[in-house]
Structure 1
Amino acid sequence: MRPHPLALPGTALCRLALLALLTALSPAYADDAVQEAVEARLRPIAMSTITTLCGLAPLVLIPGAGTELYRGVGVIVMFGILGAAIVTLTLLPALTVFVLQWQQYRLARRRDTAI
C-alpha cells in the first residue's frame, strides 16, 4: 500500500486556508487578525500534529519485523507533518502580515497620488 501523494500538501493547505480565511475577515487590522487566527488554530494544529507523531513514532523508532519496508515512508510523513505545522504557525502568519501591510501601503500611496 502506497501513501497518498497529496496527504502532506493537503494537510498544510487546509491549515493555511483556515488561517487565511480568519485573517481575511478583518484586513485593516492585519497584526491583530493574524494573531487571533494563530491563537484560534494553535490547539487544533498542535493536537493533530502530536497525535500523528505519536502514531508514527513506533513505526519509525522501534525496530522489528516488517518495519524496514515502511520506516522510510514513516520518517517522511513524520517530518513532513512536523515541518508543515512549524511553517503554518511561524512563517505563513509572518508572510501574511507582510503582504497585508504592503497592500495597505500601496492602497494608501495610490490614494495620495490620486488626490
Structure 2
Amino acid sequence: MSLTDLKRRKPKPRKKLSVEEFIEDANNYAFGQPSLAKKTRKKKPTNESMELKKQSTKIYRHATFTLTEQSIEQLNELAKTANVAKSRLIRMMITDFATKDKNELASIIENSLD
C-alpha cells in the first residue's frame, strides 16, 4: 500500500478558460509573464480551509510500504472510528512508537504477529 492511496480525494476547482484566453495564456507563458489562470479572484478563507491550510504547511514525502490485508482492514477501521486520515494515523503511531523505551519496544516487536 502506498501513501498516495491515502491522500485527499477532493479535486481542486479549475477556472474555465475560453479558447482566446487559453491562447493568450500560452503566449504569456512563452514570454515568462504571469498566467491568466492564476489571476483568479481569491475567496475569503473559511474556517475549514484555514484549518486545512495550517496542516498542509508541513512538507510531506510519499512513502511506499507493504501491509497485510488484516493490517489494511485495521487501518481502515481505525480511520473510520477515529475520523482521522490514514496517513495521519500512521504518523501518530510512528511518533508513539518512537517515544517508547527499549524494553517496551523489544516487547512489542517480540509479540508482533508479522
With normalisation by structure 2, the TM-score equals: 0.27
| More helix, by proportion | 1
TM-score by length of 1: 0.27
Give the structure with higher Rg (CA).
Answer: 2
